[in-house]
Every structure is written in C-alpha cells, then in structure tokens.
Structure 1
Amino acid sequence: MPAPTKGARLGGSPAHERMILANLATELFRHKAITTTETKAKRLRPHAERLITQAKKGDLASRRRVMETIRDRSVVHALFEEIAPSFSERPGGYTRITKIGPRKGDNAPMAVIELVTEEYSPKQAVVKEAEGAAKNAAPAEDAAAEETTSEESTAPQREEAATAAEDDA
C-alpha cells in the first residue's frame, strides 16, 4: 500500500482519510455518481478505479480485498455482478470527474465524480493512433517531395553553369 500523503489530509489522520475514501467509494458504487469537493474527487478516483480493477478479476480473494474497504455487502455484490462486468472491455478510466460551480456556503470548488457508462470501443483507439501516424507521415512525405523538386530544379541550373563555363573557355 502506498505511503500516506504528506501534509494536510482529508480530515485529520490517515485512518480518517481511509474511512472517508471508503465511504465515498461505497456511495459512488451505490449511486453511480456523487457530488463532492474537487480534492476529494481527485483522491477518490485512483482508489475507486483500483477497486473496480479488483472486481473485474472476480475471484474470492479479490472479493475479500474489496470487502476490506467497502463494508456494505449489497454494494460489493453490485460492484462484482453489475459494475465490473460492464467495464470488462475497458482497460482503465472507469470514472470521470466533472467540475461544477463553487459551493454556496463556503465557496469550495465542487465536482461530480461518476462511473463512465459509454460503451468502450477499442477500434476508436486504433483509429486515433492511425490518424496520428498519418499526420506524422504526411510532413515527412512533404519534406521528401520538396527535396526531389529542389534537386530537379537545381539540375538545369548546374547544366547551364557548366555550358557557360565551357563557352567562356
């Protein structure tokens, strides 16, 4: 387990921070989206994604590891039976953080953290890679084309210079 963050934590002690993250993760899996402060949402994201990755494995050891964090059996059941199978094709990025306006009382920056519900299409990633490769290849082809045209244009000039030198001699 990674060392606790240095400096200010989400409430006081590292134990309190772990409990806050466990409760936020439980409510995220129960309601599929929650509104919280930006700081808590940013801290929750890797925690929740790690739990979903464990749930995707689906074995007993993974269930027990998740139960150490999420104490509500109905939420763990929903995580393993509904949420994790919906992310079976997605290699990561199970949550999305959307910033919203500040809170009215204390002007704290607020955010909505939610589970991504869109279907994952691995083809889109391949298409983006192909487009990027095509963009990188296009400047290289243009440079090669410019080199050939510059060589062709300098060749007649060399011949003219050679004939001019012969005429002078």
Structure 2
Amino acid sequence: MRHGLVTKRFDRDKGQREALFRGLVTDLLKYEKITTTESRAKEIRKVAEKMVTLGKKGNLSARRQAAAYIYDEAAVDRLFGEMAKRYAERSGGYTRVVKIGPRAGDGAAEAIVEFVK
C-alpha cells in the first residue's frame, strides 16, 4: 500500500531518484526551462520551489543547503543572485508546468517546466 507516500518512485531506489531530481533541478536553474515527462515535471516543481525559497532567504545556512543539493556552483550563484532578486516580492508559485503532448519515441506525456518571469 502507498498510504502517506509523498513522491512517486519512478521505478528507482532512493539514491537514483534523488540524483534524478538533483540533476533536473540543476538544469532548471541553469537554463530556466527544461523539457521532461509530465510526472517528473510535477515532482521537480516541488523541489525547485524550495530551492527558490532558500535563495530568497539569502543567508549562509540557506546557501549551504542549496549547494549541498544543486550540482553546479554557478547555478547556486544564479539562484542566490539573479533569481532571489526576481522573486523577492513573490510569495510562491515560481514555476509553471506546460503540457506539450506525447513524446515521439514512446508516447510518454511530456511537459515543459519553466520559471515564471
């Protein structure tokens, strides 16, 4: 039974799933827009929102927490610099998921995850 489970498993163990999320969130922070499957997009949206909240805090503790999760140091700098300023007045809802239809190869539902301007 899956009572009380928060995230989907994506047919991976915990370490692989965490690495998948970390990679996708790092790419989202670097490029501000990524294309992935719809279910992955909905899951990484939660993590990306938390990362932007850490960026808005701006203190050393928040920076270390973000740096421990995000793979690229340049993405951390961007999060705490440019993105923290952009979303300073916004209280949530930093990302959007736009469905774009089935993928050509296997028919999986794809979506674009992007930061709101």
| TM-score, length-scaled by structure 2 | 0.92
Q: Contact (CA 8 Å) 1:99, 1:112: kept in 2 or not?
A: yes
Q: Which runs of 5+ in 2 are unaligned?
A: none
Q: Contact (CA 8 Å) 1:26, 1:70: kept in 2 or not?
A: yes
Match of 1:100? Answer: 100
Q: Contact (CA 8 Å) 2:103, 2:109: kept in 1 or not?
A: yes
Deviation (angstroms), 1:24? 0.4
Q: Which runs of 5+ in 1 are unaligned?
A: 118-169
Match of 1:58? Answer: 58
Deviation (angstroms), 1:43? 0.4
Match of 1:124? Answer: none
For 1:80 and 1:108, locate their aligned partners in 2 and report how far apart those are by CA, in whole Å: 34
% identical equivalent positions: 40
Q: Which amino acid aligns with 1:63?
A: R
SS in 2 for 1:106: coil
Considering fraction of residues, name the structure with more helix: 1
Considering fraction of residues, name the structure with more strand: 2
Q: What is the alpha-carbon root mean square deviation over aligned residues?
A: 1.5
More relative contact order, 1 or 2 (CA 8 Å, 6+ apart): 2
For 2:71 and 2:36, locate their aligned partners in 1 and report how far apart those are by CA, in whole Å: 21
Q: Contact (CA 8 Å) 1:4, 1:14: kept in 2 or not?
A: no
Number of residue-to-residue matches in the alignment:
114
Match of 2:44? Answer: 44
Deviation (angstroms), 1:5? 4.4
Q: Which amino acid aligns with 1:24?
A: L
Q: Which amino acid aligns with 2:12?
A: G
Q: Which amino acid aligns with 1:48?
A: A
Provide, for residues 98-157 of structure 1, a one-character-per-residue CA deviation record: whole Å limited to 9, x for no partner.
00010000000000000000xxxxxxxxxxxxxxxxxxxxxxxxxxxxxxxxxxxxxxxx
Match of 2:91? Answer: 91
Q: How does 1:19-168 map to 2 (within 5 A)?
A: 19-117=19-117
Q: Which amino acid aligns with 1:41?
A: A
Larger radius of gyration: 1
